[in-house]
Amino acid sequence: MKRTIFNALPIVAAAYGEKFGVRVEIGDREAYTDGQRIVLPNVPEDYPDMDVIWGYLAHEAAHVRFTDFDTVKANRRTEFTQTMLNVFEDCRIERSMIRTYPGTSKTLNSVAAYMASEGHYEIPDKDTHPAMVVVAYCLYWLQCHAVGQSVLQPFADDAEKVLLDVVPQGVVARLNTLIRKAPLAESTAEALDLAYQVEQLIRDAAEEQKNQAKEDQPKPQQGNDQSNDPTEAGKPDSAMKKGEGEGEGDDDDASGQEAQRNPAGNAKDGQGQDAPCSDDKSGQKGDQSQGKQGANGNQAAQDAAQFLESVLSAAGGDCEADKARQALKDELFSIAQSNQNSNITHVRTAVEGTPNALFGSELLTSVAGSSNKLKQQLYGLVQSKRQEARRYTHTGKKFDQQKIARLACGDTRVFEKKSVRTAPNTAVHLLLDTSGSMNVQSGVIASRPRIAVAREACLALALALEAIPNVNPAVTGFGGNSTAPVVSIVKHGSKSRARAGHFPRTSAGSTPMAEALWYGAFELSKCREERKIIIVLTDGEPDSSEKARYAIDLCEKSGIEVIGIGINLVKVSDYFKKHIVINDLNELTKTLFKLMENVL
């Protein structure tokens, strides 16, 4: 793709920001949002995955637009609950963004696919912290099924397997019921309430599993009950059994054989204690199987309880829903750090100046004569260009008798046709230097500061241009400070006469020409006119010569004509190939007409 100023990072980022209603800046290296603005890393112009940048921007813009940061900051909560809030809120705001701007689904999906391919998403296993297993499952399931990022389905499946290995299926089913409510949340407060419900579910489930573990503890075998009191050995129990044996047979041998055949009977071991009959195989296996099942159930319940309690006690770093996104930020940081273009600057937001109706009226009066004369000259120039041109062809409907002599020479081009030339279809953005150096008094009339000459020249030219059909002028001032380097005076489509009171009465500050050029290019990118021109009225001393030259060069390579009008100084020639110098309004009409004649 050809590199132009219209697809440069600052211009596209500003367009996204304006569309989303958020403030976007280009940082030196970092990527972050503070709830009011989004800072993108200054990635190189040839970065191949720009959809990832725009997807990241769409996600952060969704937070700025739809997240209630006061709710996020309020209320102390556990690490797990805070992370679950992030999971539910990410799902909610991305769905809201896609509903508002359907095209963002493509770039949001691009981010997910990129992070998946680069290994930014964590795949849970048996060694993953329990809290992260739960968070990962909820995150992947919601992003896949609620937001539509199907690339995360395998990740959700893997997380679910790990979860079901430890947590009973019933608990997972209850968790699924809760997370399916996340797409229905309509506010950050509702997302937070849902996070609290998940926390309570985990707490209740942990208590249930602890109770279950107690119930599943193996119970003592009745036949194995033994007394530790040696005085009890061979007392009533053995006596009772001896009596029973004598009542059932005629001799001692018969009673002994019956005792061996009776599974419930006991034989005496060498220590005089009751011992199970060694011939009772089936009874022994049954007791062992029951004990084994009880032991396994007890251990599973204990493991589940411990797992769930670990979820609730998670500390910082144990569960982070933004691990993948943070990995992406770190990657972009690294790319920007090693390949950044220091001449790139973000498009500033123009502030509105304080209007003064009386000053505007006086300014209009002072430029009326020169503006009208310039307007008539430019309009006449345009009219002559729009006149119908005649041409002659070999065929047609209108025969020109004055050209009949051509037939004698074999030239049959005697049919007249008229062609209409199109009028100029041009957007012009005037940039007015309002820096402190423009207060210097010089020129033909030494008592007049440069800002007065530039201001009058700018208004006169704007009034003349807007009178020409299909010419769309605008005026922006640049100066002041880094916080507000550009001031909107006349927007494209507005009337200069109605905005005369917005022209600056004084000048101060530095000369942020590069910032003004980026802003002018951004405003022109929104104009439908095919031809685009930037005219800079300045004394020719920008804050950063390199940044200004870079912006001018990129504009010219992108088809934007850039013209400099120097006020009293010829230094304007150091920056602009096309330039003129004026010293006073008296010269304005002649000089500007010559300039615009060539331009239009």
Q: What is the pLDDT of residues 523-555, one digit of tens each?
A: 999 999 988 999 999 987 899 999 999 999 999
What pLDDT band is residue 278 in, cutting at 50, 70 and 90? very low
- Strand residue runs (E) in 274-378: 274-275, 351-352
Q: How is residue 30 written in tokens?
A: 């970092």
Range scoring the smallest mean pLDDT among 61-65, 383-387, 496-500: 383-387
CB atoms near residue 135 (< 10 Å): 28
- Note whether 553 and 521 are within 8 A (CB): no
pLDDT of 267 reads: 39
Question: Mean per-residue pLDDT for 246-258?
Answer: 45
The confidence band for 370, taking pLDDT boundaries of 50, 70 and 90, is confident
pLDDT digits (tens, 9 = 90+) for 287-316: 544 444 455 668 888 999 999 999 999 987
Comparison of pLDDT for 339 and 227, the residue scoring more = 339
- 376: confidence class by pLDDT, cuts 50, 70, 90: confident
**Cβ atoms within 10 A of the Cβ of 356, count?**
15
Other beta carbons within 10 angstroms of residue 344's beta carbon come to 21
Say if residue 159's pLDDT is above 90.
yes
3-12, 58-67, 118-127, 392-401, range with the lowest pLDDT = 392-401
Q: Which two tokens stand for residue 591?
A: 């000089």
Q: Residue 253: is its pLDDT beyond 70?
A: no
SS3 27: strand
Q: Quick one: pLDDT at residue 559?
A: 93
What does the pLDDT average to over 396-406? Answer: 75
- The β-bridge partners of 536 are 431, 564
Would you say residue 390 has pLDDT above 90?
no
The predicted pLDDT at position 446 comes to 52
What pLDDT is recorded for position 447?
A: 66
Structure tokens, 266: 């006991």
Looking at every residue in the chain, the average pLDDT score rounds to 82
Question: Sorting pLDDT into bands at 50, 70 and 90, what band is 97?
Answer: very high
pLDDT band at 413 (very low <50, low <70, confident <90, very high): confident
Distance CA 243, CA 245 (A): 5
Which contacts of 117-123 are long-range, i.e. CB under 8 A and separated by 24 or more positions? 118/327, 118/328, 118/331, 120/323, 120/324, 120/325, 120/327, 120/328, 120/331, 121/152, 121/155, 121/323, 121/324, 122/323, 122/324, 123/155, 123/158, 123/159
- Model pLDDT, residue 236: 44
pLDDT higher than 70, residue 249: no
Of 442 and 169, more confident:
169
Residue 180 above 80 pLDDT?
yes
Between CA 304 and CA 311 the distance in angstroms is 11
Write down the pLDDT at residue 319.
Answer: 85
Cβ contact 237:207 at 8 Å = no
User: What's residue 445's pLDDT?
Assistant: 46
Q: Which domains does the chain have, with CATH numbers?
A: 9-213+310-339 (no CATH), 351-382+424-599 (3.40.50.410), 389-419 (no CATH)
What is the mean predicted confidence (pLDDT) over 195-216? 91
Top mean-pLDDT range of 356-360, 392-396, 583-587 = 356-360
Residue 150 has pLDDT above 60, yes or no: yes
Determine contact, residues 402/489, Cβ cutoff 8 Å: no
Collapsing DSSP states into helix, strand and coil, what is residue 171? helix
Q: Is pLDDT at 243 greater than 50 in this prediction? A: no
Residue with tokens 């001393």: 541
